[in-house]
Amino acid sequence: MTNAPVSVSGSGSPGASAVAHLVRGPLVLTAATDEVGVVAARLVADHVRGHPTGVLGVATGASPLRLYAALAELRAEGLVTEGLTLAALDEYVGIDPGDERSYHSYVVRHIAGPLGIPESRVLVPRGGTQRDAERYEATLRDLGGVGLQVVGIGRNGHIGFNEPGSSRDSRTRVVALSDDTRAANARYFAGDADRVPSHAITQGIATILAASRIVMVASGAAKAWALDAALRGPVTADVPASFLRTHPSVTVVADDEALRPAS
């Protein structure tokens, strides 16, 4: 079954989201660019209040940085985050966890540290074999799965590192990164796409969709094509993010630039 998106323009209020969730389909909240993370953080905080020792699924990249900073601000105001376990979506193959460009480092630096979560409860897929991938799936399963999952969207429509062509049934596995993704991430590798690892280990689409709730953040015109295709185009492996429409509880928080229909 696929769900049509429901839009609530200019709203980040919990009241609006509660009403709109009575209608099936991704809820789309529009926010000013510098408010996208703040609105998304409120949604995450609502979930964390009910699941203070649960598993929070986290994306890396630029899109959710403001969300994590806003969560830390909410922690300073009393939100209890120290009991959470963090589970990342993906990691480069061949980059050591201690390397500052690793997603492990990102999660520790931008999320676990500010939220007071010990590194022992930071889970990031690691390695480059099918066995490594299966181990990560088993770890998530043993923890009872992810409660709320934060996702970004690649400009080619990927979620996690599930590049176009990824199947709805895919699980954690080692994947080749597309040229487009390597070009997009060159900024973290001295601007040189050739230095971006060629492979990554990523949760699959089915792994991501197993989360109880999903919050996507997106901003900027560079995401407009992907978001348009994901929300309004066919549900297809060509645009992996479109599979989010098969999940019953997805909220997209995005700015006007990202939500502008592609011409």
Positions 57 through 86 that interact with ligand F6R (CB under 6 A): 59-63
Marked catalytic residue, from 110, 158, 185, 228? 158
247 counts as catalytic: no
**Could you say whether residue 123 binds ligand F6R (CB under 6 A)?**
no
Q: Interacting stretch for ligand F6R, rule CB under 6 A, among 44-52, 69-77, 156-164, 249-257? A: 156-164
Positions 231 through 250 that interact with ligand F6R (CB under 6 A): none
Q: Is 81 left (phi over 0), alpha (psi -120 to 50) or beta?
A: alpha
CA within 13 Å, CB half, 218: 32
Which helix H or strand E contains 6, and what residues bound it? strand 6-8
Q: Interacting stretch for ligand F6R, rule CB under 6 A, among 31-39, 74-82, 157-165, 170-178? A: 157-165
C-alpha 52/C-alpha 143 separation (Å) is 14
The nearer residue to ligand F6R, 68 or 161, going by C-beta atoms, is 161
**Could you say whether residue 4 binds ligand F6R (CB under 6 A)?**
no
- DSSP codes, 186-197: GGGTTT-GGGS-
Q: Return the DSSP state at 34.
A: G
Buried b (16+ CB within 10 A) or exposed e, 47-76: bbeeeeebbbbbbbbebbbbbbebbbebbe
The nearer residue to ligand F6R, 20 or 161, going by C-beta atoms, is 161
The nearer residue to ligand F6R, 72 or 217, going by C-beta atoms, is 217
90 counts as catalytic: yes
**Could you say whether residue 102 binds ligand F6R (CB under 6 A)?**
no
The residue assigned the tokens 């703040």 is 38
Task: Tell me how long the chain is.
Answer: 263
**Could you say whether residue 90 binds ligand F6R (CB under 6 A)?**
yes
Closest CA to 203 of 252, 146, 133: 133
**Could you say whether residue 152 binds ligand F6R (CB under 6 A)?**
yes
The nearer residue to ligand F6R, 18 or 62, going by C-beta atoms, is 62
**Could you say whether residue 126 binds ligand F6R (CB under 6 A)?**
no
**Could you say whether residue 110 binds ligand F6R (CB under 6 A)?**
no
Residue 237 phi, psi dihedral angles, 5° rounding? -65, -20
156 counts as catalytic: yes
163 counts as catalytic: yes
Which residues are the active-site residues? 90, 156, 158, 163
Which residues bind to ligand F6R, rule: CB under 6 A? 59-63, 89-90, 152-154, 158-161
